[in-house]
Structure 1
């Protein structure tokens, strides 16, 4: 199982009135982690989108454990939690530079045709992605 790592320096604009990272920003960071994972595996979302295929979020979950503040650096760790040829569940951990676990989460995605939102078979249309996801998904 491959775990991608993406470093993020917390910007002031990402914090709320309490001086901690506003909760919705963690979801954005998960997207950055997912993009890094796909890049690490040798692929690119933009190429898939050029083919008229998009990958919407079906479900997303985040559990907040410890706040992150302006000026800190975090690492978003991302992996393929599960994959069945149609749906992909990504797992996430956001770890502060202190080593403290700040957020855990998952997001579920399916690839669909952009014009109709009909699901496609990744295995059939993108066999290289399928093989990489099978090889790199979390094992049992």
Structure 2
């Protein structure tokens, strides 16, 4: 299993009035982690988008454990939890500046054609990505 790691400096604009990271910002950080994993595997989302393929979220799960606060760094870990050639489930852990688990999460994606949103087989259209996901998954 391959785990991507990314560090984020918490910006004031990402927090609420209590100085705690606003809950929706974790979704943005999950995307940063996912992008890092894909880059670590040797690919880029932009490349498949040039081919007319998108990767929308079809399911999302986040469990909040402890806060991340302004002035801390957040540490994101991302990996491929499940992959079946069509759907990809990424898993995430985000830690606060005290190395406490702040959130766990999963996002499930499917690749679709941009013009009609019909699912495509990653295995068939992008065999290099398929092989990389097979090797990287849990």
Same fold at TM > 0.5: yes
Gaps of 5+ in 1: none
2:68 partner SS: coil
Q: CA deviation at 1:19?
A: 1.4
* Aligned match of 1:13: 13
2-side partners of 1:113 and 1:44: how far apart? 17
User: For 1:91-113, what per-residue CA distance to the aligned partner results, in whole angstroms no more than 9, with x for missing partners?
Assistant: 00001121100000000000000
Q: TM-score, normalised by structure 1?
A: 0.97
2:36 partner SS: helix
Moved over 2 A (4+): none
Q: TM-score, normalised by structure 2?
A: 0.99
Q: CA deviation at 1:89?
A: 0.2
What is the RMSD of the two structures over their aligned residues, measured on CA atoms?
A: 0.5
Whether 1:78 and 2:82 are equivalent positions in the alignment is no
Maintained 8 Å contact 2:75/2:95:
yes
User: For 1:38-77, what per-residue CA distance to the aligned partner results, in whole angstroms no more than 9, with x for missing partners?
Assistant: 0000000000000000000001111000001001001110
1:16 partner SS: coil
1-side partners of 2:18 and 2:79: how far apart? 31
